[in-house]
């Protein structure tokens, strides 16, 4: 078979520990035999981030802006222990945070569904994707403990010296306060990313806040979404046969549980943080969650939702064969290849990625899986294999399809 040719390179961001090993399995066993893989390689492994004073992370994000599509391996976010372990020059920032700050994107997380691995919510038949706004609110909050009695106020000082004040609370005893903010431009970017992604996926978009209580703050989110939808997307949604739907967060929670899935749920920063873990857990397994960062100007960065699977890496270093599930990493690659195929008009690249995804799903549905999945599945006659053997089984299935 002639290898599939690519036009534009994918931005390839390599990473750390066990997922760096999985990265090699995926490339060598599933991609390179069939695709003349064209990538611009950035090594985001912690050693190289340290060596380059983290410049490599910034460069990889800028390359994503240039080419439009990236695929990223999980990376270590250093803490004090990692600084010692890797003898780091300093405690480098989270690579995902750095990339997000440059691309100004929204993170969409979606589970891979398999027959025989039943979500904890039995009505869910299709995936639910969470879109999390990744800027501001309590994550940039300023907090204080207040010793009462005291008066706490919100004060805004304009450039021309005008001062606007509002009392938060007249404390007669001790208490706490917090000031938080968001920026219209960031909310607008969030809205456009969500509308674009819904069009890409051909799925309804839900958005929820608590605007009945937060009549200015949350209401601003609601208004910005409504205005951008009306002016820029209403026609496109109609043509695609999908809907935009706004509701209160409490109502959304109730509807999500009763739904059969198959939509995108846009959430403010904190709601998205909490709800994405709820959705991931209810669908079964972190190793089956994919994630994509979409920027308002249409750049895509695909990755697995899980981390570097440190515990498995130490097993690997001892010569053992860990049960690391490669599915989310494979789907990061297929997502990126499909998008590249679509943008560069290479249908055979997109078709290949579809076949690889099917090969993954069928391998599991035929009863071959890693230990973590086996614990969740109702499939009979299971064969439990280690991560590398599982990847090889997927390769055999893929070979049959091509």
Contacts with ligand NAP by CB under 6 A lie at 74-77, 96, 286-287, 303, 306-311, 324-325, 372
The DSSP code sequence of 5-18 is E-SSPEEEEE--HH
Nearer to ligand NAP, 122 or 319 (CB): 319
Angle between helices 347-365 and 387-401 (to 10 degrees): 120
Token pair recorded at residue 275:
């709800």
Nearer to ligand NAP, 77 or 214 (CB): 77
Residues sharing a CB contact under 8 Å with residue 245, sequence separation 6 or more, in sequence order:
204, 205, 206, 207
Whether cis (ω within 30° of 0) applies to the bond prior to 169 is no
Binding test (CB under 5 A) with Mg ion, winner from 58, 200, 204, 273: 273
Nearer to ligand NAP, 324 or 334 (CB): 324
Cross-strand bridge partners of residue 205: 244, 264
Number of residue whose CB is nearest Mg ion: 273
Could you tell me how many residues of this chain bind Mg ion (CB under 5 A)?
1
Shortest Cβ 306–ligand NAP spacing (Å): 3
- Is there a contact between 149 and 171 (Cβ–Cβ < 8 Å)? yes
Residues sharing a CB contact under 8 Å with residue 240, sequence separation 6 or more, in sequence order:
199, 202
The DSSP code sequence of 141-208 is -EEEEE-SSEEEEEEEE-TTS-EEEEEEEEESS-EEEEE----HHHHHHHHHHHHHHHHHHT-EEEEE
Whole-angstrom distance, CA of residue 292 vs CA of residue 164:
40
Shortest Cβ 137–Mg ion spacing (Å): 14
Whole-angstrom distance, CA of residue 136 vs CA of residue 301:
21
Shortest Cβ 290–Mg ion spacing (Å): 16
286 binds, among Mg ion, ligand NAP, none (CB under 5 to 8 A by kind): ligand NAP
Residues sharing a CB contact under 8 Å with residue 110, sequence separation 6 or more, in sequence order:
127, 128, 129, 289, 290, 291, 292
306 binds, among ligand NAP, Mg ion, none (CB under 5 to 8 A by kind): ligand NAP
341 binds, among ligand NAP, Mg ion, none (CB under 5 to 8 A by kind): none
Regarding 354 and contact with Mg ion (CB under 5 A), the answer is no
Nearer to ligand NAP, 286 or 292 (CB): 286
Shortest Cβ 331–ligand NAP spacing (Å): 11
Nearer to ligand NAP, 306 or 393 (CB): 306
Nearer to Mg ion, 111 or 296 (CB): 111
Kindly indicate which of the ranges 114-122, 208-216, 218-226, 272-280 contains the residues binding Mg ion, using the contact rule CB under 5 A.
272-280
Shortest Cβ 301–ligand NAP spacing (Å): 11
Q: Is 335 exposed, middle or buried (0-12, 13-18, 19+ CB in 10 A)?
A: buried
Shortest Cβ 322–ligand NAP spacing (Å): 8
262 binds, among ligand NAP, Mg ion, none (CB under 5 to 8 A by kind): none
Contact set with Mg ion (CB under 5 A): 273
């Amino acid at each position: 078979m002639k290898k599939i040719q690519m036009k534009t390179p994918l931005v390839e961001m390599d990473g750390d520990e066990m997922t760096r090993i999985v990265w090699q399995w995926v490339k060598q066993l599933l991609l390179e035999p069939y695709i003349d893989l064209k990538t611009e390689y950035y090594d985001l492994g912690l050693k190289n981030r340290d060596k380059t004073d983290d410049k490599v992370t910034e460069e990889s994000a800028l390359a994503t802006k240039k080419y439009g599509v990236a695929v990223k391996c999980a990376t270590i976010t250093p803490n004090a222990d990692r600084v010692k372990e890797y003898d780091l020059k300093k405690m480098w920032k989270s690579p995902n945070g750095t990339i997000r700050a440059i691309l100004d994107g929204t993170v969409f997380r979606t589970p891979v569904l398999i027959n025989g691995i039943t979500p904890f919510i039995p009505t869910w038949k299709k995936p639910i994707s969470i879109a999390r706004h990744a800027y501001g609110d309590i994550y940039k909050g300023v907090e204080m403990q207040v010793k009462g009695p005291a008066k706490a106020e919100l004060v805004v000082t304009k450039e021309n010296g005008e001062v606007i004040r509002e009392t938060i609370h007249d404390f007669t005893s001790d208490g706490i306060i917090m000031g938080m903010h968001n920026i219209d431009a960031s909310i607008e970017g969030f809205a456009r990313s969500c509308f674009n992604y819904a069009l890409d996926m051909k799925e309804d978009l839900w958005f929820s806040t608590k605007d009945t209580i937060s009549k200015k703050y949350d209401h601003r989110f609601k208004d910005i979404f409504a205005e951008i939808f009306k002016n820029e997307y209403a026609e496109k949604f109609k043509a695609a046969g999908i809907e935009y739907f706004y509701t209160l967060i409490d109502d959304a929670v109730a509807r999500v549980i009763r739904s059969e899935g198959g939509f995108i749920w846009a959430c403010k920063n904190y709601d998205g943080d909490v709800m994405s873990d709820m959705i991931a857990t209810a669908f079964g397994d972190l190793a089956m969650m994919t994630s994509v960062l979409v920027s308002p100007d249409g750049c895509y960065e695909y990755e697995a939702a899980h981390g570097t699977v440190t515990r498995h890496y130490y097993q690997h270093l001892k010569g053992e064969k860990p049960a690391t599930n490669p599915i989310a990493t494979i789907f990061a690659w297929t997502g990126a290849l499909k998008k590249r195929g679509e943008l560069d008009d290479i249908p055979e690249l997109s078709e290949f990625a579809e076949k690889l995804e099917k090969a993954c799903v069928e391998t599991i549905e035929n009863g071959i899986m890693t230990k973590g999945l086996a614990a969740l599945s109702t499939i009979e006659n299971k064969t439990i294999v280690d991560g590398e053997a599982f990847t090889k089984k997927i390769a055999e299935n893929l070979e049959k399809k091509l």
